[in-house]
Structure 1
Amino acid sequence: MRLLVLCTHNSARSQMAEAWLKHFAQELGVDLEVHSAGTEKTYVKEEAQRAMAEVGLSLEGHRSKTLWEVPDPWNFHLVLTVCDQAKEACPAYPARTLKRHVSFPDPTGKPLEEWRRVRDALGRMSLFLVRNLKEGQVPSDETLAQAAWGA
C-alpha cells in the first residue's frame, strides 16, 4: 500500500507523521510505502528534528517537497492530510484513492513542549492507523482523531 501524508509546508507535522508511519510499519511487518509532501515547499524544522530524536526517530535525510517531487504522485491508496489548510488544497485524486484527515495544530513558534504534544499525538494516530492497515481496514477520520487526541 502507498500512503501520502500531506501538510502545508512539509516542514513539521507531515515529516513527523512520515517517520512514525514508517517506524510502525516496519515494527509491525506491514508492507507500507510512506511519503510526505506539502502544498508548498520550505524546509524541515529543527524543532521537529529535535522532538523526533527524543523518541529515537531521525529526520536526517528528510527534505521538504511538494507533491510533484514524490514518486508517482497520482498513485496513492491513501492520502492523509494533517492540517486543515492542506485538506482544503488537497488535489482531486483518482476514485480509488481514500482520503483521511486529522487536524493537528501547528507547533511553529511554540515551546518544545507543544512540539512534543503534537509529536506524541501523531505517534498515537500513526500506530492506530498501521495496526488497522495490517488488519485490512482504513479507520475513519473520527477514529483516527480519537486515537491521536483521545477525544
Structure 2
Amino acid sequence: MSERPSVMFVCVHNAGRSQMAAAWLSHLAGDAVEVRSAGSAPADQVNPAAVEAMAEVGIDIAAEKPKVLTTEAVKESDVVITMGCGDACPIFPGKRYEDWELEDPAGKSVDGVRPVRDEIKARVEELIASLLPARA
C-alpha cells in the first residue's frame, strides 16, 4: 500500500452508498487518504435523500456527480469497497477488496437513509483505523 492509501467505493448507481462513504472518508481522514467513488451504471444525480441526510451531519455532497467505474480507477486504488455492484468490479491481484452489505437508499426518504448513513460512518471509522493505525 502506498504512503497515502487510496480507497475506491463502488456501488451500482454511485448515487447513495458510495457517495456517502466517500464523503465520510474525506471528512474523517482529510488528506491522509485519497478517496474515489464510482458506479457500474451511474445515475443522473446523487440521491436527494442522501444529500439531505449528509447535510444533517454537516457534510455537503450536493455538488457531487455520479461517475462511471473504470478499470484504471480500480488499478490506481489500494482498497476497493463494493456495495452491491456484483461482478461488475474488475479484480486485480494485490488489492484489498471488501464488500459492504448495506441497504440501498434508492427510493427511500431521508428517514430511511439515516440508518444507512450512520452504518456507513461506523464502517468508515473502522476502515480508517485499519489504514491509518497511528490515528486510531
Asked whether the two chains share a fold, i.e. TM above 0.5, the reply is yes
Deviation at residue 128 of structure 1 after TM alignment: 1.4
Q: Which amino acid aligns with 2:48?
A: E
2:119 corresponds, among 115, 121, 135, to 121
Aligned length: 129
Equivalent runs, 1:1-151 vs 2, <5 Å = 1-26=5-30, 31-42=32-43, 43-68=45-70, 72-83=73-84, 86-93=85-92, 95-135=93-133
Structure 2 CA distance for aligned equivalents of residues 128 and 14 of structure 1:
16
TM-score with structure 1 setting the length: 0.79
Is residue 50–residue 110 contact of structure 2 (8 Å, CA) maintained in 1?
no
Structure 2 CA distance for aligned equivalents of residues 100 and 18 of structure 1:
15
- Equivalent residue of 2:121, what SS? helix
Structure 2 CA distance for aligned equivalents of residues 76 and 110 of structure 1:
30
Is residue 13–residue 40 contact of structure 2 (8 Å, CA) maintained in 1?
yes
Q: Which runs of 4+ in 1 moved over 3 A?
A: 70-73
Sequence identity (%):
33
Cα deviation digits, residues 11-46 of structure 1 (max 9, x gap): 0000000000111112xxx62100000001112111
Is residue 25–residue 130 contact of structure 1 (8 Å, CA) maintained in 2?
yes
Is residue 18–residue 37 contact of structure 2 (8 Å, CA) maintained in 1?
yes
Structure 2 CA distance for aligned equivalents of residues 48 and 111 of structure 1:
9
Cα deviation digits, residues 59-118 of structure 1 (max 9, x gap): 0321001123x97442111000122xx13321122x121101111011222232220000
Is residue 82–residue 101 contact of structure 1 (8 Å, CA) maintained in 2?
yes
**Corresponding residue number in structure 2 for 1:147:** none
**Structure 2 residue ranges without an equivalent (≥5):** none
1:129 and 1:111, CA in 2 relative to 1: closer, same or farther beyond 3 A?
A: same
